[in-house]
Structure 1
């Protein structure tokens, strides 16, 4: 019923004080990348150049966030030779200072992300660091690279057995590659959403292998060849140490709410859900709000239910576009279980379901967010698949997570 997803990262059998008291750590889909990000090397252009040029390097292509794959479960990677027509042979040749000095806002540069090193394979070495390099490349046809990108996409698609897997929420990949895809998708989305500076409105430049954006002080756009670059207007983001923009992560609470007597779960239904589909409630944290407060506020605003004790269960990266789902379990107060949808019209319906009803729903073949419900099963309770943290929170509750005695 609730067998763990194969290959999810689970800490080895450790006998630490924390594991004895609180149980084993819980891992969720989209976490547990097999790559060591070595994030401190993203500014080392000698490292990036060597990693990009090495024969062991693997490149994941994405077209409008759809990854290249062998099928819906397995990603497909291409070689340096496949992407050079788009990226050029040395996309990391220039240092940050040189990139800023030669910035031309009229020229579209393809985003090439350094994702990390797979230390299980040691074909590449740089100082004391070793492991095959992994990159992601945005091959979306746009701007001045539109034709180059189209040619690369068509050439890759012509190879037998690969395709760009569409879908707004890709939840079918094997767990390790889902984590790689999540990292790539979130970073490419962030770059695409931040082409302009928040301080002056001018175009920004992606540096540090796709993980930082800056507002250059000059621009070569519309400058005759050999001419001096145009000086841009003064910008607050270039003063002091604030001349940067880093990728954002939006914290979101998602909670399994248990009835006061510990026998039922509160599930809600959004009008966008497939027929019969219910899930746990969720919402964004607000400034100056703790996780526990957000769980209580969102549950009351969306469902009218008042929550007492809240415990944090686990978390899940959710790259659609940049959320961190903080999973919690809360318990309704004895006098606060009445459902009221009149505060916030976000939910179409909300109900209390018994543990047995949730168990039965878990035994039915799961359907994804955009999947059609089989004929004749429209009235059955449906819940999100195991790849969603909502499912894992429900499973934790009905399997006795709240009733387990601490291991001393």
Structure 2
């Protein structure tokens, strides 16, 4: 048995939430190396995740389907055949390209499936994602439609699964999908430069969009994004806080519900951080705005990427201030209701009635029982930490 490290002895076991823990090394420093990317793209063992309207191609509800370059080459050819600079110089705004993203390499792959990096320091099986959505406005729409028909014919058991309703991926596949979905969604929804309004081009293997200086060989107007340091054409991540709030006497937890949720389904409170606001301040503000409860001490628990579309959920635990625990929903109409629940009622729900918004009622459910989010949600992990004592709060 491996010896415990200092942090484990000091703070206890760590938490790795669903959609985190990708098995891939992203190799971000090679995203502009088109020689390496070109080799990786066309390698026979390279695996491609396909997205259609952001839903992934899956072989089962719990397993992504992976295709090869030969399956999809008609749609993308080899975009890395020339350098990134050459692509920018020959950019033409009327010619569209599907979003292709280099996700990284699996270093645990067998040698015959692996590709060495240029310095031979790393080796692994390459993974890409490709958006095959046949957007009517895109110049490649008919090719994408043909590809979808070919895939359906060649792989009749594969389906594009609706991620929030009929997909229950294993942890590693979920983490890979989270990266692919977030980056794809950003590329699709940010086609124009935030600095000058010109059409942009996906570069850096899908992790950046550039505002080209030329369009069809004609020089375009100047843009600040082409000079100096800037961040206007990089993917966005929206930080949000999600918090389990404990009563001042340590016996109850505050949970809320939205009107659109199933009957009796409750969860922890959550909200987006605002500019110039710390995590702790955001927790206190959101709890007070949504429930009227005032929180004092706040500690950080863990985080979870949430690719719907691009949030980073920062999990926290807060403690209510004595005498300021009355619930008032008049500040913010977001919640239909909020309640303090005793630990024993929550423990029963954790054992019997956890599940997603679209899941059927679990076996053993009785009308009126509290329902809680599934283990794949950070809300569940926060509730467990507080109610079951799975994290030693005094040591955090």
Of residues 341, 365, 370, the one that matches 1:353 is: 341
123-132 vs 76-85, greater mean Cα deviation? 123-132
Match of 1:379, SS? coil
Describe the SS at the equivalent of 1:292: helix
- Structure 1 segment 94-113 matched on structure 2, within 5 A: 94-113=82-101
Aligned equivalent of 2:130: 137
| Pairs within 5 Å for 1:177-256 | 177-220=173-216, 229-242=217-230, 245-256=233-244
Return the match for 1:367 from 355, 365, 370: 355
Displacement of 1:337: 0.7
Counterpart of 2:27 in structure 1 is: 38
Q: Contact conserved, 1:274 with 1:373, CA < 8 A, in 2? A: no
CA contact (8 A) 1:28 1:316 kept: yes
Partner of 1:294: 282
Q: Report the CA distance between 1:274 and its aligned residue.
A: 1.4
**Alpha-carbon deviations, 1:175-224, whole Å to 9, x = none?**
0000000000000001011100111111100001100101111111xxxx
SS in 2 for 1:131: strand
Tell me the secondary structure at the aligned position of residue 296 of structure 2: strand
State the partner residue of 1:150: 145
Partners of 1:214 and 1:243 within 8 A in 2: no
**CA deviation string 1:251-292 (max 9, x = no partner):** 110000001111111000011211111000001111111111
Which one of 36, 43, 48 corresponds to residue 47 of structure 1?
36
Q: Report the count of equivalent residues.
A: 387
Q: Report the Cα distance in structure 1 between the residues aligned to 2:27 and 2:261, rounded to whole angstroms.
A: 39
For residues 107 and 14 of structure 1, do their structure 2 counterparts lie closer, same or farther at Cα, with a shift above 3 Å needed? farther
Counterpart selection for 1:82 from 60, 64, 71: 71
More divergent stretch after superposition (160-169 vs 355-364): 160-169
SS class of match (2:140): helix
Per the normalisation by structure 1, the TM-score is 0.91
CA distances 1:26-76 after superposition (whole Å, capped 9, x unpaired): 110000001111110111111101101111100111101110111110000
User: Which consecutive residues of structure 1, in runs of 5 or more, have no partner in the other structure?
Assistant: 1-11, 221-228
Deviates more, 1:176-185 or 1:126-135: 126-135
Query: CA–CA distance in 1 between the matches of 2:394 and 2:285?
Result: 29
Contact 2:303 2:315 in 1 (8 A): yes
What residue number does 1:9 align with? none
2:46 counterpart of 1:57? yes
Q: 1:91 aligns with which of 62, 65, 79?
A: 79
RMSD after superposition: 1.9
* Equivalent-residue separation in structure 2 for 1:83 and 1:151 (angstroms): 11
Q: State how far apart, in whole Å, the 2-side matches of 1:86 and 1:153 are.
A: 10
Contact 2:243 2:316 in 1 (8 A): yes
Equivalents in 1 of 2:280, 2:3: separation in Å?
A: 28
Alignment of 1:167-186 (within 5 A): 167-168=163-164, 172-186=168-182
Q: What aligned pairs does 1:233-382 form with structure 2 within 5 A after superposition?
A: 233-242=221-230, 245-371=233-359, 373=361, 377=366, 379-382=368-371
Compare 175-184 and 352-361 and name the one that shifted more: 352-361
Give the structure 2 partner of residue 390 of structure 1. 379
Partners of 1:403 and 1:128 in 2: CA distance: 40
The answer as to whether partners of 2:17 and 2:378 remain within 8 angstroms in 1 is: yes
Partner Cα separation in structure 2 for residue 38 and residue 202 of structure 1: 29
Report deviation, 1:377.
4.9
Residue 70 in structure 1 maps to residue 59 in structure 2: yes
CA distance in 2, matches of 1:69, 1:171: 9
Q: For the structure 1 residues 217 and 243, does the alpha-carbon distance in structure 2 shift closer, same or farther, using more than 3 Å as the test?
A: farther
